[in-house]
Chain A
Amino acid sequence: MFFNKKIIIIFLIIAIIAGLGLAVFLFCSNPKKQLELDFLNVEQGDAILIKTPYGQNILIDGGDGKEILRELPRELPFYDRAIDLMILTHPHDDHVGGLVKVLQRYRVKKILYTGVSHTSPTYLEWLNIIKRKNIPLTIIDRPQTITLGADLRLDILYPLESLLNKKMENLNNSSIVAKLIYQDQNFLFTGDLEEMEEQVLLEKNIDLRADILKIGHHGSDTSSSEKFLEAVKPSAAVISVGKDNDFGHPSLRVINRLERLGVKIYRTDLNGWIKINSNGKLNDIHSER
Chain B
Amino acid sequence: MPFNFSRAKLFLYSNLVFIGGIALASFLPNRFLRYDLWFFGAAAGCAVIIILHYIFMKATRRRVAFVLFFIFFLLGVWRYSVSLPVTGPDKIWFYNGQKIEFIGTVNREPDMREDKVKLTVGALCLEGDISKCRLPVRGNVLITVPLYPNYNFGDTLKIKCELQAPEQIDDFYYDRYLAMQDIYSTCYNPKIDIVETGHIRSLSHKFYAAILKLKAKFADAMSVGLSEPENSLLQGMILNNRGELPQELKNSFAQAGITHIIAISGMNISIISVIIINFLIAFGLSRRWALISSAAALTLYLILIGLPASAVRAGVMAFVAMLAVFFGRLNKLTNALVFAAVLMLLLNPKSLRDDIGFQLSFLALLSIIYVYPIFKEWVDKIINVGTRYGAQLLQGIIDIIVLTLAAQVLTLPVIALNFHQVSLIAPLVNVLVLFLLPFIMVFGLIAPIFSILIPDLAWLWFAPIYFALKYMIFVADKAVKLPLAYLEIDYVWSGWAVIYYCLAILFIWRYNKNKKPDLKK
Give Cα A80 to B455, complex, Å.
13
Q: 1/0 contact trace for A48-91 toward B, CB 8 Å? A: 00000000000000000110011011001011110000000000
Interface residues of A in 98-121 (CB under 8 A from B): 100, 104-107, 121
Instruction: Check B115 for interface membership: any CB of A closer than 8 A.
Output: yes
Q: Which of A11, A18, A81 contacts B467 (CB 8 A)?
A: A18
Q: Which of A2, A4, A18 has the most CB of B within 10 A?
A: A2
Provided the pairs A14-B439, A66-B114 are in contact, do residues A125 and B466 lie with their beta carbons within 8 angstroms? no
Interface residues of B in 162-218 (CB under 8 A from A): none
Cβ–Cβ contact A1 & B278, under 8 A: yes
Instruction: Check B128 for interface membership: any CB of A closer than 8 A.
Output: no
Instruction: Check A15 for interface membership: any CB of B closer than 8 A.
Output: yes
Q: Which of A7, A66, A121 contacts B148 (CB 8 A)?
A: A121
Give Cα A80 to B231, complex, Å.
15
Instruction: Check B246 for interface membership: any CB of A closer than 8 A.
Output: yes
What chain B residues lie within 8 Å of A121 (beta carbons)?
146, 148-149
Cβ–Cβ contact B463 & A81, under 8 A: no
Cβ–Cβ contact A2 & B231, under 8 A: no
Instruction: Check A3 for interface membership: any CB of B closer than 8 A.
Output: yes
Q: 1/0 contact trace for A1-27 toward B, CB 8 Å? A: 111100100010011001001100000
Instruction: Check A162 for interface membership: any CB of B closer than 8 A.
Output: no
Instruction: Check A124 for interface membership: any CB of B closer than 8 A.
Output: yes
What chain B residues lie within 8 Å of A81 (beta carbons)?
224-225, 227, 458-459
Q: 1/0 contact trace for B411-440 toward A, CB 8 Å? A: 000000000000000000000000000110
Per DSSP, chain A at the interface is: helix
Give Cα A254 to B274, complex, Å.
65
- The interface on chain B, measured as residues whose beta carbon lies within 8 A of the other chain's beta carbons, has a size of 32
Cβ–Cβ contact B148 & A73, under 8 A: no
Give Cα A7 to B396, complex, Å.
12
Provided the pairs A3-B438, A15-B464, A105-B231 are in contact, do residues A125 and B150 lie with their beta carbons within 8 angstroms? yes
Provided the pairs A2-B274, A3-B275, A122-B147 are in contact, do residues A79 and B463 lie with their beta carbons within 8 angstroms? yes
Give Cα A81 to B459, complex, Å.
7
- Closest Cβ–Cβ distance, residue B229 to chain A (whole Å): 7
Cβ–Cβ contact A14 & B147, under 8 A: no
Give the residue name and chain of the A residue nearest to B278 (CB): A3
Cβ–Cβ contact A66 & B464, under 8 A: no
What chain A residues lie within 8 Å of B225 (beta carbons)?
81
Q: 1/0 contact trace for A223-267 toward B, CB 8 Å? A: 000000000000000000000000000000000000000000000
Give Cα A22 to B173, complex, Å.
48
Give the residue name and chain of the B residue nearest to A18 (CB): B464
What chain B residues lie within 8 Å of A66 (beta carbons)?
114-115
24 contacts between A and B (CB under 8 A): A2-B274, A7-B438, A11-B439, A14-B464, A14-B468, A18-B464, A22-B463, A69-B228, A70-B228, A70-B229, A73-B227, A79-B463, A80-B459, A81-B224, A81-B458, A100-B147, A105-B227, A106-B224, A121-B146, A121-B149, A122-B147, A122-B148, A124-B148, A125-B148
Q: Which residues of B contact A (CB under 8 A)?
A: 114-115, 146-150, 220, 223-229, 231, 246, 274-275, 278, 281, 325, 438-439, 458-460, 463-464, 466-468
Q: Identify 11 new A-B residue pairs, CB closer than 8 A, beyond the known A3-B274, A7-B438, A105-B224.
A: A1-B278, A73-B227, A78-B226, A78-B227, A79-B459, A79-B463, A81-B224, A81-B225, A105-B223, A121-B148, A124-B148
